Amino acid sequence: MAICSIISVLFLLSVSNVSAFVSPTSASARVNVALGMTRLPSRRGFFSKFVISIGSASVVSAAHPAAWATIMDSNQKEIKTFQPGQKIGVDEAKNRFTLARQDVQYLLDNYEDISKGGGDAVRRRLGTVGVSSYMYGIGKVVNELREEADDLVEYTETMNEFNAYLYQAEGAAYQSLFVEHSSASGTPESFLATAKQDVRQMQKFMDQLAVQLRL
């Protein structure tokens, strides 16, 4: 009896954690998964509803492929990642910064087409999703270049403004993915438009950093 009780407890724990293995791309898909895991009169009911929930999530991901692209697209280029505690080096950092500026300009020049892929498509260009943009790890890059600036105080203030607009652009792009399923006002398009404005402001401070670094 004790063994059966332990097995039952372990099963219930595994059921309660199963949502961790499902990553639907919208709030409605997550609701479907949650519904499939509540009000279950039996184990058979759990499995039947759970399969239906996974199917619903699959339909959503098919309708909105951009939110899954970072995980599913194996053809994306990958930028060199950083090791914890490892210095980039001045030359490498300057090169990454220069290439990141090019990626930002490409994002703005092609924003209309890129944003059609949804918030994650914009976030990918910002380097906050995946590692296919030279904007990936840009905070570490600009921080390591502080000693190369003509005026450390001015550089630090500019860097903080740059980071602030980067986070705002990231936040607006992220919210665009879920605004239709929340009580917040606005549309995916309006949040993506806000993100674009933040990217433009971010670029201005990025240009100022380049001047201070003589790039």
Q: Is the pLDDT of residue 44 over 60?
A: no
**Distance (Å, whole) CA 215 – CA 207:** 9
Across the chain, what does the average pLDDT equal?
A: 73
The tokens of 62 are what?
């098919």
State the DSSP code for 148.
G
Q: Is the pLDDT of residue 198 over 60?
A: yes
pTM higher than 0.85: no
At residue 164, the pLDDT reads 97
State the DSSP code for 105.
H
Q: Is the pLDDT of residue 187 over 70?
A: yes
The tokens of 16 are what?
């309660």
Query: How many CB atoms are located within 10 Å of the residue 28 CB?
Result: 15
Q: Is the pLDDT of residue 36 over 70?
A: no
**Distance (Å, whole) CA 199 – CA 210:** 16
